[in-house]
Amino acid sequence: MDLVLGIDGGGTGCRAALASATGDILGRGRGGPANIRTDLAGACENIVEAARLAFAEAGRDPALIGTAGAVLGLAGANVGDYKQRLQAMLPFRNSRIENDSLISLEGALGEHDGAIAALGTGTVYLARQKGHLRPVGGWGFQIGDLGSGARIGRDLLQETLLVHDKVHAGTPLADIMLERFNRDPSDIVEFTTAAKPGDYGAFAPMVFEHAAKGDALGQKLVERAVADVEETLAVFDLAPTERLCLLGGLAGLYAPLLSKRYRAIMHPPLQDALGGAVAMAARIFGKAGGGHG
Amino acid sequence: MDLVLGIDGGGTGCRAALASATGDILGRGRGGPANIRTDLAGACENIVEAARLAFAEAGRDPALIGTAGAVLGLAGANVGDYKQRLQAMLPFRNSRIENDSLISLEGALGEHDGAIAALGTGTVYLARQKGHLRPVGGWGFQIGDLGSGARIGRDLLQETLLVHDKVHAGTPLADIMLERFNRDPSDIVEFTTAAKPGDYGAFAPMVFEHAAKGDALGQKLVERAVADVEETLAVFDLAPTERLCLLGGLAGLYAPLLSKRYRAIMHPPLQDALGGAVAMAARIFGKAGGGHG
């Protein structure tokens, strides 16, 4: 029987699942970071380690990893030539390397047409419609990622300064923020000198929470973020028969706020990204008895 | 006769002017950077050097700088205890250290009440009304400086990505930007990883230029920037008898675009910041024959 591997890798770690040719998962394994842009050799080692652990958990000899066809969804695989270089290093019989958003979409939508919107610290969108893939966004919070936690948090700090300067009227949310920074604008500016997207994004849930309580500032920021997300979704012109899956840490906060048109086609993801990689691997390398890497 | 010094210092250099007790300038001098936050001792040396050169140009013995009362307008003097520490190091008979925006206002408005709006790579505002000083903004482009060149440039790059992703409709300005970055969003994102405020701000004049030609994107960005500037000016509630001076690299581009209310009270600056420092020095240390430092 042919074995296939699904692998989901990114900057914090990678996960592998060994499955039968029909996609039934037999074993799982975890490995260290798969940062193909900053440490290609290390990423390759961690991916192989996760695959070997999946073989071991399935009661198979890890020395046989070279017999499996693998689908890898890796953050950053759409940039530069890392994909080609990694492909040449991997020990699997066949390796298909895709961007992480594709295995997320495969997991979330299965065979359905539609789109995923990953709404977390950043935002990135991918649609698959009649076999055509369309990625949108994901350019980082500095000049992109509208509607992301990072952008909502950054906007909140900006508004806090405007309230401090009395350019905008205060609200309970603004007051909480001013208190948090000792009512000193220098402290807010100081925060931004070292803040990473996740540091800004940490404020986002609070914005949604205060918006729900009727805070005018919270509502303004959430309304803007929802409008940004919907403006992007409009690009896909999703049909009523297509599906929309929201993913990421803010998915649950956005879900009830999107307009009826989108709520009507919203579905929870069928599987996670690793499940999507396994399903792709079974489709590509399982049924046809091997495929071509 | 008492001598007074006016000094205008910032990160790129400092200028000194020696003047009579009535404010007539006798000589000028230049020195290196006066970055009191990053190199207090070096700033002090450069300030003294500029003062000595001003004495020399006036045909006075530079050894006599200790006899003059000085007003120094220095960037960053409103933060931390640098001001107190520098004051203890300076050799002048009396030293009054102020933030650079105050000497700009003194120079621009003279004895008049009103406000200055410094509109350049960043934005910062200062009003003086019935003896009361009110600073607004100047928090940096990351979460402040609305209407600044840096913010306009950053917004332009964001819009360029949205046009690339077909979220927003294209315009000639967006097309020029896409061409400039080889129609590759990664190139735009790459630019932002190292971009300083001035790098973003370098795009601002082009935005005004295209807005004037009717470019829809240029107009949207300029309208937003003008609205941001006017929203801040509204804080001062300027009377028809008060003055508004626009300063900074974008002043000439903004001037014709502000609403009639502001155009009606707009005046060119009476003097530059160094002239403002000299006028303050004459007022404080000249007429009264010394004053108290």
The DSSP 8-state label assigned to residue A37 in this structure reads T
Candidate CATH numbers 3.30.420.40, 3.40.50.300, 3.30.450.20, 3.50.30.40; the one for domain A3-110+271-286: 3.30.420.40
Indicate if the alpha-carbon torsion angle A207, A210, A216, A220 is positive or negative: positive
Q: Does B69 touch chain A (CB under 8 A)?
A: no
As given in the structure block, the two tokens for residue B180 are: 């400039």
Mean pLDDT over all residues of chain B? Answer: 94
**Residue A11 in 3-state DSSP?**
coil
pLDDT at B125 over 50: yes
**What do you get for the CA distance between the two ends of chain B, in Å?**
18
Dihedrals phi, psi of B89, to nearest 5 degrees:
-95, -25
Q: Give how far A142 is from chain B: nearest CA, Å.
A: 7
Residues from chain A that touch B224, judged by Cβ atoms under 8 A, are none
Q: Give how far B154 is from chain A: nearest CA, Å.
A: 7
Q: Are B143 and A166 in contact (CB < 8 Å)? A: no
Burial A67-84 (b: 16+ CB within 10 A, else e): ebbbbbbbbbbbeeebbe
Crossing angle of the two packed helices A149-164 and A172-180, in degrees rounded to 10: 90
The DSSP 8-state label assigned to residue A164 in this structure reads H
For chain A, which residues score pLDDT lower than 50? 289-293
**Residue A289 in 3-state DSSP?**
coil
Q: Does A166 touch chain B (CB under 8 A)?
A: yes
Q: Are A139 and B189 in contact (CB < 8 Å)? A: yes
For chain B, domain boundaries: 3-110+271-286, 114-263
The DSSP 8-state label assigned to residue A285 in this structure reads I
Q: Does B176 touch chain A (CB under 8 A)?
A: no
Residues from chain A that touch B140, judged by Cβ atoms under 8 A, are 189, 192
Residues from chain B that touch A137, judged by Cβ atoms under 8 A, are 165
Q: Write down the ipTM of this complex.
A: 0.89
- Return the ∠ at Cα A240 (arms to A238 and A245), rounded to 5°: 60
Query: H-type helices in A58-195, by residue range?
Result: 82-89, 100-109, 149-164, 172-180, 185-194
Indicate the pLDDT class of residue B290, thresholds 50, 70 and 90: very low
Poorest-pLDDT segment among A80-84, B154-158, B185-189: A80-84
pLDDT (tens digit per residue) in B207-219: 999 999 999 999 9
Nearest CA in chain A to B144: A158
- pLDDT value at position A292? 45
Residues from chain A that touch B158, judged by Cβ atoms under 8 A, are 143-144, 146
- pLDDT value at position B289? 47
Amino acid at A211: A
Q: Are B144 and A189 in contact (CB < 8 Å)? A: yes
What's the rounded Cα separation, in Å, for the pair B272 and B170?
41
Supply the DSSP string of chain B, one letter for each residue: --EEEEEEEETTEEEEEEEETT--EEEEEEES---TTT-HHHHHHHHHHHHHHHHHHTT--GGGGGG-EEEEEETTTTSTTHHHHHHHH--SSEEEEEEHHHHHHHHHHTT--EEEEEESSSEEEEEEETTEEEEEE---TTT--TTSHHHHHHHHHHHHHHHHTTSS---HHHHHHHHHTTT-HHHHHHHHHH--HHHHHTTHHHHHHHHHTT-HHHHHHHHHHHHHHHHHHGGG---TTSEEEEESTTHHHHGGGS-HHHHTTB---SS-HHHHHHHHHIIIIITTTS---
As given in the structure block, the two tokens for residue A285 are: 């390398």
Q: Does B157 touch chain A (CB under 8 A)?
A: yes
Residues from chain B that touch A188, judged by Cβ atoms under 8 A, are 139, 143
List strands edge to edge, sheet with B114-119. B132-137, B123-129, B114-119, B243-247
Q: Are A189 and B137 in contact (CB < 8 Å)? A: no
Q: What is the 3-state secondary structure (H, E, C) of A142-159?
A: CCCCCCCHHHHHHHHHHH
What's the rounded Cα separation, in Å, for the pair A147 and A230?
9
Residues 196-215 of A with CB under 8 A from B: none
Burial B275-287 (b: 16+ CB within 10 A, else e): bbbbbbbbbbbbe
Indicate if the alpha-carbon torsion angle B218, B219, B220, B221 is positive or negative: positive
Residues from chain B that touch A185, judged by Cβ atoms under 8 A, are 139
CA dihedral in degrees (B273, B276, B277, B282; nearest 10)?
A: 160
What's the rounded Cα separation, in Å, for the pair A65 and A4?
9
- Reported as type and span, the H/E element at residue A55 is helix A40-57
Taking each continuous run of H as one helix and of E as one strand, the counts in chain A are: 12, 9
A3-110+271-286 against A114-263: fold identical:
yes
Q: Are A154 and B165 in contact (CB < 8 Å)? A: no
Candidate CATH numbers 3.80.10.10, 2.40.340.10, 3.40.50.300, 3.30.420.40; the one for domain A114-263: 3.30.420.40
- Return the ∠ at Cα A286 (arms to A280 and A291), rounded to 5°: 90
Indicate the pLDDT class of residue B1, thresholds 50, 70 and 90: low
CB pairs under 8 A between A and B: 64
Option in B139, B186, B189 nearest A161 (CB): B139
